[in-house]
Amino acid sequence: MENVVIIDGIRTPMGRSKGGVFRHVRAEDLSAHLMNAIFERNPNASNKELDDIIWGCVQQTLEQGFNIAKNAALLTDIPHTVPAVTVNRLCGSSMQAIHDASRLIMTGDAKSVLIGGVEHMGHVPMTHGIDFNPKLTLRVAKAAGAMGLTAEMLAKMYKISREEQDAFALRSHQLAALATEKGKFNNEIVPINGHDATGNLISVNYDEVIRFDASLQGLAALRPAFDPVSGTVTAGNSSALSDGASAMLLTSESYATQQGIKPRAKIRAMAVVGCDPSIMGFGPVPASELALKRAGLTLNDIDIIELNEAFAAQSIACLKGLKLSENQLDDKVNLSGGAIALGHPLGCSGARISTALLNHLEQNDKQFGLATMCIGFGQGIATIIERV
């Protein structure tokens, strides 16, 4: 089987969904911008030799409907002969794109695949047009359909206090703010035009969602968002609603060698699992354990972890489930903050955290990285990469 290598990973800045910098920018344009940019950054990799485009997106309707992968590609310099498909594994959609592309390359059905994902949560709300089957409540708890309540469940199960959650959220904002100030996002963010608060056209090269002035006092003042009586999960210790896109170029190792392209990492293992929908946020634990088993590694071998921060309660529960100490959190988990600070544009996040992981491995001269996410309604997904 062919080895799969990562040539590059990029993303747009993360825009605030409510009246943010991308309020006049469509999801296809966010995607198309990255589809062009990744080849501009890697001139030895020809878009004419792409075998497929695989794009993650959750709310596939309105501007994100009717196969946004191909619709976005038609706005680019990519030849019309290149096929494209949109995939949906909810929050794990663009990580699923990584997995699908990897399998194509491993089996020899492709040599070069562009993957990514997008979600414009300002234009296409998360619950737009959803009509769940009433019979679902015969098999799963009704609250399992409310992601915030699943986080509340994990907080109760793992005895995670409001103070712990707020401290975790503050850490996310502080690390993301520090990473911005130190230029640690510069290698992954591709500037794109947007609009400022007064409507002027601007070049956006920063994440709008980060709260540079976040404080424990401010977080503590927020009311519970999902359980007003005894809840601890708030808007402040949950991932922000945001708009953004991400992209990665994957090829076979042999193709990269032939083209004279230096890969940045290789795919070592992948895993997807199911879990109880009522604690969907715990999915990263069994997914990570399965990926580690397939890679022949242990968690101690992993240098850096990117854990998608859907909720602080969910993230802390996963860290406890993986038996990571507080010191290990500081040393190896979400070193530049996570979705609480940057937002979680559903279809975008899997490739975004994988790109962040790629940069962390390089910036810290480390070898193995794990990217993992929970997925609504009871799934987890994980990818292990090795820096080369």
Residue numbers annotated as active site: 91, 344, 374
Please name the helix (run of DSSP H) or strand (run of DSSP E) that holds residue 90, with its range, or none: none
Cα–Cα distance, 383 to 365 (Å, whole number)? 19
| Distance of alpha carbon 289 from alpha carbon 291, whole angstroms | 6
State the amino acid at position 124 in one-letter form.
V
Cβ–Cβ under 8 Å, residues 232 and 156: no
What are phi and psi for residue 376, nearest 5 degrees? -50, 145
How far apart, in whole angstroms, are the C-alpha atoms of residue 60 and residue 124?
A: 9
| Alpha carbon distance 1, 372 (integer Å) | 24
C-beta of residue 59 within 8 angstroms of C-beta of residue 126: yes
3-state secondary structure of 145: helix
* Distance of alpha carbon 65 from alpha carbon 132, whole angstroms: 19
Please state, in angstroms and rounded to a whole number, the distance separating the CA atoms of residues 290 and 271: 6
3-state SS class at 11: strand
Question: How big, in percent rounded to 5, are the helix, strand and coil portions of the chain?
Answer: 40, 25, 40
Running DSSP on this structure, what letter comes out for residue 108?
T
